[in-house]
């Protein structure tokens, strides 16, 4: 629309672009913050923190939102990957191998809604150790089987997939550390120093997809 004097009207200030994927999906389904608060049994101030991106959405809330607001499987999965990016196979496949195990550990921990201290207490270590693992500041060492089985309650193929990823990342880290002196002497940066990138193992990909579907409330 154009005014008589030829000027365009000012844009409607009340129409705002969604700040988060959650807010975008809620709006597409004709819902507002008050509806989200009621669905999750929260105060509006609390639910607004999720809509505005101040806090990530708790994974356990996603199946509730899916059911209450009739989200599609694709929308629910998108919310899972938006809030748990470290279990997204496509993201992990672009990540250097030495960093993958730590990222997956963080992703699984967050999917279980565990704090680093919760994991540390079970393992008999400190939160700083968990943080070092997750941020690739050191190998996931000393407790891999206890972490996988006692903390994450994984067994069978799922446990094997994570243990193999931990071993692969630790081996890659050792290779990088071994090459560092030579690289430093040559004054250059090589692919070994940066960390190699390769396809995810099929078992790990399958496990992550299954985990994401579980968190999205999708029956498999």
DSSP string, 43-105: -HHHHHHHHHTSSPPPGGGHHHHHHHHT--HHHHHHHHHHH-GGG-HHHHHTS-HHHHHHHHH
User: Do 21-83 and 87-216 show the same overall fold?
Assistant: yes
**What pLDDT is recorded for position 191?**
44
- pLDDT at position 193, please? 44
pLDDT score at 74: 97
Q: Give me the percent of the chain exceeding a pLDDT of 90.
A: 74
| Domain boundaries defined on the chain | 21-83, 87-216
What pLDDT shows up at residue 181?
Answer: 61
Which pLDDT does position 190 carry in this prediction?
A: 47
The predicted pLDDT at position 1 comes to 45
Could you tell me the fold of the domain covering 21-83? 434 Repressor (Amino-terminal Domain) (1.10.260)
**By three-state DSSP, how is residue 128 classified?**
helix
Spell out the residues 6+ positions from residue 65 whose beta carbon is closer than 8 angstroms to its own.
22, 36, 39, 40, 71, 76, 79
Token output for 22: 């959650």
pLDDT value of position 60: 97
| CA–CA gap between residue 55 and residue 111 (Å, rounded) | 15
Provide φ and ψ at 17, rounded to 5°.
-70, 140
pTM listed for this prediction: 0.84
What pLDDT, on a 0 to 100 scale, did the predictor assign at position 186? 54
Q: 181-199 pLDDT, tens per residue?
A: 665 555 554 444 445 567 8
> Which two structure tokens, joined as six digits, stand for 120?
């540390």
- What stretches in the chain show pLDDT beneath 50? 1-4, 10-11, 13, 189-194
What pLDDT is attached to residue 6?
Answer: 52
74-107 residue pLDDT tens:
999 999 999 999 999 999 999 999 999 999 999 9
Domain 87-216 architecture:
Orthogonal Bundle (1.10)
CA distance 195 to 212: 26
Residue 189 DSSP one-character state: -
At residue 90, the pLDDT reads 94
pLDDT at site 13: 47
Separation of alpha carbons 50 and 52, rounded Å: 6
- Exposed, middle or buried: residue 34 (CB in 10 Å: 0-12, 13-18, 19+)? exposed
């Amino acid at each position: 629309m154009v005014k008589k004097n030829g000027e365009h009207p000012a844009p409607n200030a009340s129409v705002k672009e969604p700040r988060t994927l959650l807010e975008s999906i809620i709006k597409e389904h004709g819902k507002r913050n008050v509806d989200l608060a009621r669905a999750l049994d929260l105060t509006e101030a609390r639910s607004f923190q999720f809509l505005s991106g101040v806090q990530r959405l708790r994974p356990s809330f996603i199946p509730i939102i899916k059911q209450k607001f009739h989200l599609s499987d694709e929308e629910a999965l998108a919310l899972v990957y938006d809030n748990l990016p470290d279990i997204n196979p496509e993201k992990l496949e672009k990540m250097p191998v030495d960093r993958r195990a730590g990222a997956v550990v963080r992703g699984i921990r967050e999917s279980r809604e565990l704090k680093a201290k919760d994991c540390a207490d079970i393992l008999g270590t400190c939160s700083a150790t968990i943080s070092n693992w997750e941020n690739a500041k050191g190998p996931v060492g000393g407790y891999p089987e206890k972490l996988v089985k006692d903390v994450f309650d994984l067994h069978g193929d799922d446990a094997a997939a994570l243990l193999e990823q931990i071993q692969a990342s630790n081996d890659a880290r050792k290779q990088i550390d071994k090459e560092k002196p030579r690289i430093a002497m040559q004054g250059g940066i090589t692919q070994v120093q940066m960390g190699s990138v390769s396809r995810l193992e099929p078992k790990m990909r399958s496990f992550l997809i299954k985990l994401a579907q579980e968190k999205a409330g999708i029956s498999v």
